[in-house]
Structure 1
């Protein structure tokens, strides 16, 4: 689970503190575990500063804290502050950007050439997938992989993400899929035809950025018409 720490302090010696933080960043290059940080100054109080630091997990944050350079930074930083800084530890329970990135990664993985890669980096084990082309929903990793492998036997394809909207624990992705019909697909022998399919995918994520449920919508009729399986 992503972890964040908020550092709140007051100082009239910000330039010195800024140089101190630059020195720490240089000394810990390649070993520090923070993935992102933002430092803000209070618009109504120029001596009030708040830093938000993000880590992949609480354990990674603790590993960062145990670096000898971090311990030195803390003591030198306190000496530059007007009073003791405060630290607030937060477990991230919703991260819409994380979910959007995971949705993109999901489409990238299922379109990877060759053997289908492991999907557990983006899909939870008990994921529930709703696909209008299937009589039954796919429930669980094995069933979902079988569905993707059926599509991959029939087509070489790649996805292009056109739009994404995130709200709460859900992401809606509008995509375009460019594919070549290279193998048997639902009894249709390979035609070598290039096809373009458009659709949308809504995914529900849990806190660690893995999909627990999804809903596909795409132009299946247009695909079958292009392959000659039904009349236009």
Structure 2
């Protein structure tokens, strides 16, 4: 179970506090167990800050706290604070990446499931598509997605395995494996009935909860070889 610690404190020397954190990051390279930390400043009190630190488990958090560098950082941090910082320990009981859920929904519900009506719910009207298979390079509009999904679904019966999904800011990155049966003509190649596989990466950039831009990189040459065209 993921674990989070919230550290609440006040300081008039945030630059000094930041220097303490930077030294800790450098000194604990290869030893620390935290993978994600966020610092926020109170909009109504410029001396009030909150750190949110994420760990894969409570046990990993305890390992991190026992590092001598962590103890030294804490002492330096307290010296810069107005009073003693407060700590809140949280077991994560629900975690939801809304953009990531939309991205998964596209692959499973639209690409594989064929629900074209959902495209308007997921993609911005001025969506921009960048596709290695597109000679034009980039195209704009949701009709691009509708056209491409229709083309692939007409030529193959296929599934997507989402091997990895990474979220950062407004971007969702997916590494996927596509598996399909060639059932109809594709790029001038007659139906072969062959089973094919292909790997690729898709990056979706979100704005206001919808996919605003997409980049598609996949092994089209490898697929064409499997179909006997290259």
Q: Which residue of 2 aligns with 1:189?
A: 190
Q: Which residue of 1 aligns with 2:201?
A: 200
Q: Which residue of 1 aligns with 2:223?
A: 223
Cα 1:45–1:125, aligned 2, differ >3 Å: closer, same or farther? closer
Provide the rounded CA distance (Å) in 2 between the counterparts of 1:204 and 1:147.
Answer: 19
Structure 1 alignment gaps of length 5 or more: 1-42, 47-94
Q: Does 1:139 align with 2:140?
A: yes
CA contact (8 A) 1:138 1:144 kept: no
Provide the rounded CA distance (Å) in 2 between the counterparts of 1:113 and 1:96.
Answer: 23
- Cα deviation, 1:187-222, whole Å, max 9, x if unaligned, reads 1111111111100001100122x1000000000010
Residue correspondences, number: 142
Deviation at 1:149, TM superposition (A): 1.0
Q: Which residue of 2 aligns with 1:152?
A: 153
CA contact (8 A) 1:96 1:169 kept: no
Structure-to-structure mapping, 1:13-92, within 5 angstroms:
44=86
Deviation at 1:225, TM superposition (A): 0.1
Provide the rounded CA distance (Å) in 2 between the counterparts of 1:96 and 1:213.
Answer: 22
RMSD: 2.7
Provide the rounded CA distance (Å) in 1 between the counterparts of 2:211 and 2:141.
Answer: 11
Provide the rounded CA distance (Å) in 2 between the counterparts of 1:44 and 1:147.
Answer: 53
Cα 1:138–1:96, aligned 2, differ >3 Å: closer, same or farther? farther
CA contact (8 A) 2:128 2:212 kept: yes
Provide the rounded CA distance (Å) in 1 between the counterparts of 2:87 and 2:228.
Answer: 69
Q: Does 1:214 align with 2:203?
A: no
Q: Which residue of 2 aligns with 1:108?
A: 108
Residue 105 of structure 1: SS of its match in structure 2? helix
- Cα deviation, 1:39-87, whole Å, max 9, x if unaligned, reads xxxx9499xxxxxxxxxxxxxxxxxxxxxxxxxxxxxxxxxxxxxxxxx
Residue 120 of structure 2: SS of its match in structure 1? coil
Structure 2 alignment gaps of length 5 or more: 1-84, 89-94
Cα 1:114–1:99, aligned 2, differ >3 Å: closer, same or farther? closer
